[in-house]
Amino acid sequence: MTDHSKAAITASGLRKAFGDHVVLDGIDVTVEEGTVYAMLGPNGAGKTTTVNILTTLLTADAGSVVIAGHDVASAGDAARAAIGVTGQFSAVDNLLTGRENLQLIADFRHLGKKEGRERGQRLLDQFDLVDSATKPVSTYSQGMRRRLDLAMTLVGNPRVIFLDEPTTGLDPRSRHSMWQLIRELTASGVTIFLTTQYLDEADELADRVAVLDGGRIVAEGTPDALKQRVPGGHVQLQFADAAALARAAACFDGVTSDEEALTLSVPSDGSPGELRTVLDRLGRDGIEPSGLSMHSPDLDDVFFALTGNGEAASPTTDSPEGAVR
């Protein structure tokens, strides 16, 4: 990885309450230039509130925010000039075509006719929207709308981009194409702050991940470092019938058995030695599993261990594979 020494986003001691509901209870965020920072959290954890404060749409009750070297309290305009925001609710105008939407933003940014047209064309190319450029957005698929929304964010050439749940509700193919676009943006030096409910998305894209829960950041680090913090590795054993499953379950402490799937999860560090111990123990009672697989801890394990609130994290839209369940 490149050596990133400058922070694109620094927030310290952010607090926000709505009435007596404390949503953010003193959070600190540092995002290095040219990296992807993912904020994870169950529904209602305060992710959008954080994005709104970092992007100056909302004022914090306490704390400070510096974006691309500009303090939002004293140099809000300069901070805003450096950022682009793509929210959960698309900003595109359905009645206009893709090209017209891009042109509108270019005009709004006073880019000048020629430059606006050229930048719009480049973005249509980059985001694979050329064929639909002259069709009204009302005819676009969800994935196309999200791509156009992100393209519109890029018209102003922002150095820091905020993506609030960029792939919620997208089908797997559209998610992957969005991920690819995000990777290309970071490769060009752009800094990305994204919120997501999808742990695999954070794992795929983020250099650092923060888990927000109860108004605080309960864990922060690289995806690998976070995975090392929680147990979650296990051997999953499959059995041919319920009787074998029950006998096997009695051999170990701390196991989880699934009587419908006829599987047993035995906590393990995933080493060959531990696997041998498990199989030897079953062998002593003459129990033979019909299949087995090893599982290393993943971000799901981190999330559930740290938030204790897995159910609340279920997305309200269709969940693509890898969503929080």
Ligand X SMILES: Nc1ncnc2c1ncn2[C@@H]1O[C@H](COP(=O)(O)OP(=O)(O)OP(=O)(O)O)[C@@H](O)[C@H]1O
What CA–CA distance (Å, rounded) separates 110 from 119? 13
Query: Applying CB under 6 A, which part among 40-48, 219-227, 289-297, 299-307 lies near ligand X?
Result: 40-48
Q: Regarding beta strands 7-18 and 21-32, do their DSSP bridges make them parallel or antiparallel, or are they unpaired?
A: antiparallel
Candidate residues 43, 64, 126, 142; the one interacting with ligand X per rule CB under 6 A:
43
Query: Applying CB under 6 A, which part among 42-50, 116-124, 134-142, 145-153 lies near ligand X?
Result: 42-50
What CA–CA distance (Å, rounded) separates 252 from 92? 56
Q: Is residue 45 a contact point for ligand X (CB under 6 A)?
A: yes
Binding mask 201-240 for ligand X (x = CB under 6 A): ----------------------------------------
Candidate residues 44, 172, 231, 270; the one interacting with ligand X per rule CB under 6 A:
44
Q: Regarding beta strands 62-67 and 83-86, do their DSSP bridges make them parallel or antiparallel, or are they unpaired?
A: unpaired
Choose among 43, 48, 38: nearest CA to 313: 43
DSSP 58-82: S--SEEEEEETTEETTT-HHHHHHH
Candidate residues 31, 47, 218, 303; the one interacting with ligand X per rule CB under 6 A:
47
Count the site residues for ligand X by CB under 6 A. Answer: 11
Candidate residues 11, 14, 23, 199; the one interacting with ligand X per rule CB under 6 A:
23
What CA–CA distance (Å, rounded) separates 148 from 98? 7
- Helices 172-187 and 142-154: crossing angle in degrees, nearest 10, is 10
CB of 313 to ligand X, least distance (A): 8
Query: Applying CB under 6 A, which part among 25-33, 43-51, 203-211, 297-305 lies near ligand X?
Result: 43-51
What CA–CA distance (Å, rounded) separates 169 from 12? 32
Q: Is residue 194 a contact point for ligand X (CB under 6 A)?
A: no
Candidate residues 2, 18, 187, 273; the one interacting with ligand X per rule CB under 6 A:
18
Residues in the site for ligand X, rule: CB under 6 A?
18, 23, 41, 43-49, 197
